Structure 1
Amino acid sequence: MKTKHLRGIILLGTLVLACLLVIQLYWFRKAFDVAEKQFDHSVQIALRKVADSVSKDAEIRKMSSNFFFVTTNSQLNDQELDSLLRNEFSKRSLSIDYELGVYNAADDTLVYGHYVEATRRLEAEKEQYKRSLAEKNFAVYFPKKQSYVAAQLDVWIFSTIILLLMMGFFAYAIASLLRERKFAELKSDFINNMTHEFKTPVTNIRIAGEILQNKIQDQGTQVYVNILLKENERLRQKIDQVLSGASIEYMKRPVLEAMDIHRLIEDCAEAFQLKIRERNGTIRLEFQAGQVSILGDKDLLLQAITNVIDNAEKYSLESPHILVRTRDHGDQIEIDVIDNGIGIAPQHRSKVFDKFFRVTSGNIHNVKGFGLGLSFVKGVVQAHRGHVNLLSELNKGTEVQIILPKV
């Protein structure tokens, strides 16, 4: 993924989550205000019921968010007032602690104060209370009102916590993505920097082997020289596979030139003629496309088509019979490589283009490789604004379709 695209995704995701958090907090505040108004309404109704039972001209005033003052200017029995309040709050399911204060109407001095827990049971009062002839007012204070109202919004609190957790997971995922991206870049840079270090000794070994092959006449020694050259070539191919798999990630744009795709396919097929003939197989070319000129990077396309044919040969356990066919596909050209190999099971078809993925039989790899061939093919074709399809049936063969735009 390109750096600017990654930054765009991070910025967009952060912006979306920030907007969601702002909206969540806005509606949480709205819901809290509604719940608080409902609480105040219930409290005022309860206080009105109590006040009307002791005075005809009582006045209820909300002095602050959690403090209510009731002016009665009437004679009040302190304990009876306490009992009335608890009864009215219980009727309206106001299970909340409160403090009751009774004041002399003349000088606003506190003559009775009592803290009432929400869980206190209503019990019959056995003690006889004396009535004071002085006129009194009373006030009710709710010290835990904010937490009580917030507790009524359990769904909103839960959804807010979930949103915060989601933001935390998003931040963790982004941090992990950036860390993995850094490691991937270090790995690819290491592989690219080792290109010269690997290829130079391999090339020198090949040159020295060819010189020995030409100078040594002894047949016994020639056998060992041939083994040396054969294994050197095998090592070179493996190095090219690894390097091609790493370099495709950093291929910003292929070097495009007009080419004859049929000529390119013929060059690819020619390299496999001897190997397939030794296995009593055939490779057949069937060119049906009319327009064969495309714009592409010759080296990359040559390697990509070679990889597909190489897979077709390797995964044909019996005599390989391979058909390479071209067809017109609208303003595109379709290249089909069809084999009679072992095929691919349905559960593996969507993964064969993943890097390092290889179809295996248990823990045994019947065919050697790194799982980079088709990943490289997909990268090259996408770099040429084309796409790759795969059709396969287990034990009946595989067809790989490469579709590229024409000139």
Structure 2
Amino acid sequence: KSVIEEDLNYYGINLDFEFDIIKTGYLQEASVGRGFYLSGSLEELLERSGYKLSIRFPGRRDFIVAQMGSIFVVSIILLVIVTLSSLLIYRFYRRERDLSGNIVDFVNGMTHAFKTPLTNISLANSMIAKSDITIKDKKIISYTGIIKAEHRKLKERVDALLKTTFTETDQPSGHELIDLSVVTRDIADSFSVQLNNSGGSITLKEHDTGIYLYGNPDLFYIALSNIIDNSLKYSRETAEIIIDTGKKAGRVFIGIDDNGSGVPQEYLADIFEKYFRVADDEKVNPEGFGLGLYQVKKIITLMGGSVSAKNSPAGGLSINIELPLVTEK
């Protein structure tokens, strides 16, 4: 027994065991029961004598657990931690997704609820302004002018929030063939009156004709309008805006440059982020919600394009849009 015990200790097996010496002839006729193991130790010596050594380990389960030791326990603990972490992350994701959906629904409901009152205010103010009594009273004319101006500002904010809900998904909707020239000329005409009244100008430079692309016309119009509106908002002098359009190598290029103060270099990477607004030295609280350029990036991305910004060497901000060109209508 001491020889067997020494041999087992050499291999790190420190368990109680039982053994039997079995004649070779008997072994060939009977099978060894479960839990018995034929050892290779002393094999040659015993075979020459016509015997086999059979060893049984009553505590073999304890041996397996002992061999696995702390590694097994640590593995189980790590597995439990990973599982719990995954469940918590999924739970937080579900909560954030539901919260985001509720916010979008709330904004959508609120903006739609404001639509009718705003329309009624505009109609009532228009009727008051056209009445004979109002025409003769300069003070009332002044009041109606203030109401009209504030109504326009509020309507723009409501429209901005409403349109944001249309760009909260990553799925494009209402894709149609868009004639770039038609959209840019329409936008230039819509802003020309406002710019002319302030002494500014908007110039359209079309380097190519027959430029078409796919997208939602209304959202695309909003994207370009937001860029120009942003230029007007941060202009410190008479605004001069240039819209450049062209095509090259299957891509459409649109550039909108202004002569404003530009954007500090450290903020250029953030101006397309949601709710981000650049601080202005002359405006403690810049107008708007910081959604305009965010909408631009969202809409252009839905159309399969990209948008970037840089400060122009001549001063002002330059917004560059790149979109897929439609070659077959």
Question: TM-score surpassing 0.5?
Answer: yes
Q: Confirm whether residue 382 of structure 1 aligns to residue 306 of structure 2.
A: no
The equivalent residue for 1:149 is 67
Offset of residue 147 of structure 1: 5.9
State the structure with bigger RCO (CA 8 A, min sep 6), 1 or 2.
2
| SS of 2:177 mapped into structure 1 | strand
Q: Which residue of 2 aligns with 1:30?
A: none
Distance (whole Å) between structure 2 residues aligned to residue 50 and residue 366 of structure 1: 83
Q: Choose from 163, 166, 184 the match for 2:100.
A: 184
Q: Equivalent residue for 1:207?
A: 123
- Say if 1:342 and 1:394, in contact at 8 Å, map to a contact too: no
SS of the aligned residue for 2:310 comes to strand
Deviation at 1:378, TM superposition (A): 1.8
In the TM superposition, what is the alpha-carbon distance from 1:46 to its structure 2 partner? Answer: 8.8
Q: Is the 8 A contact 1:67 1:142 kept in 2?
A: no
Aligned residues: 283
- The correspondence for 1:196, drawn from 101, 109, 112, is 112
- State how 1:382-401 maps to structure 2 within 5 Å: 382-392=301-311, 396-401=315-320
The answer to whether the Cα contact below 8 Å between 2:254 and 2:320 also exists between their aligned partners in 1 is yes
Contact 2:181 2:209 in 1 (8 A): no
Name the SS of the counterpart of 2:247 in structure 1.
strand
> After the TM superposition, which of the residue ranges 295-304 and 277-286 deviates more from structure 2?
277-286
| Aligned-partner Cα distance in 2 for 1:186–1:268 | 34
Residue pairs, 1:164-313, within 5 angstroms: 164-215=80-131, 216-217=134-135, 218-250=137-169, 252-313=171-232
Query: Which residues of 2 match residues 294-373 of structure 1 at below 5 A?
Result: 294-360=213-279, 365-373=284-292
The structure with more radius of gyration: 1
**Gaps (5+ residues) in structure 2?**
21-56
State the 1:162 CA deviation: 4.0
Secondary structure at 2:269 match in 1 = coil
Structure 1: where are the runs of 5+ without partners? 1-43, 52-61, 72-138
Asked if the contact 1:388–1:400 (Cα under 8 Å) also holds between the matched residues in 2, the reply is yes
Instruction: Assess if the C-alpha contact under 8 Å between 2:240 and 2:258 holds in 1.
Output: yes
Q: Is the 8 A contact 1:344 1:394 kept in 2?
A: no
For the Cα contact (< 8 Å) 1:343–1:395, is it kept in 2? no
Q: Is the 8 A contact 2:246 2:253 kept in 1?
A: yes
TM-score (norm 1): 0.61
Equivalent residue letter for 1:390:
A
The answer (yes or no) to whether the contact 1:316–1:341 under 8 Å persists in 2 is yes
- Code of the residue aligned with 1:403 in structure 2: it is E
Over residues 51-82 of structure 1, what are the superposed CA-to-partner deviations in whole Å (9 max), with x where a residue is unaligned?
Answer: 9xxxxxxxxxx9xx9422479xxxxxxxxxxx
Q: Secondary structure at the match of 2:289?
A: coil
Instruction: Tell me the distance in 1 between the aligned counterparts of 2:87 and 2:58.
Output: 47
Give CA-to-partner distance per residue, 1:316-366, whole Å, 9 cap, x none: 22332221100213222111111233333344333322222222369x745
Q: 1:376 to 1:143 in 2, by over 3 A?
A: closer
C-alpha displacement of 1:296: 3.3
8 Å contact from structure 1 (residues 387, 404) kept in 2: yes
- Matches of 1:143 and 1:335 in 2, distance apart? 74
Deviation at residue 301 of structure 1 after TM alignment: 1.4
Q: What is the one-letter code of the residue matched to 2:87?
A: A
Alpha-carbon distance between aligned partners in 2 of 1:250 and 1:187, rounded to the nearest angstrom: 13
- Relative to structure 1, the CA distance from residue 150 to residue 394 in structure 2 (aligned partners, 3 Å threshold; closer, same or farther) is farther
Aligned runs of 1:158-169 on 2, under 5 Å? 158=74, 161-169=77-85
Task: State the distance in 1 between where 2:3 and 2:272 align.
Answer: 72
SS of the equivalent of 1:307 reads: helix
Q: Deviations over 1:161-184 (max 9, x none)?
A: 445433322221111111111111
User: How far off is 1:279 after superposition?
Assistant: 4.3
SS at match of 2:168: helix
* Partner in structure 2 of residue 67 of structure 1: 16
Q: Are residues 66 and 307 of structure 1, via their aligned partners in 2, closer, same or farther at CA, if it must alter by over 3 Å? A: same
- Counterparts in 2 of 1:49 and 1:195: CA distance versus 1, 3 Å: closer
**AA in 2 matched with 1:48:** E
> 1:337, 1:399 within 8 Å by CA — same for their partners in 2?
yes
Q: Specify the SS of the correspondent of 2:277.
A: coil
Q: Decide whether the 8 Å contact of 2:178 with 2:215 is kept in 1.
A: yes
SS of the equivalent of 1:322 reads strand
Alpha-carbon distance in 2 for matches of 1:330, 1:386: 14
- TM (norm. structure 2) is 0.73
1:395, CA displacement in angstroms?
A: 10
- Structure 1 residue aligned with 2:5: 47
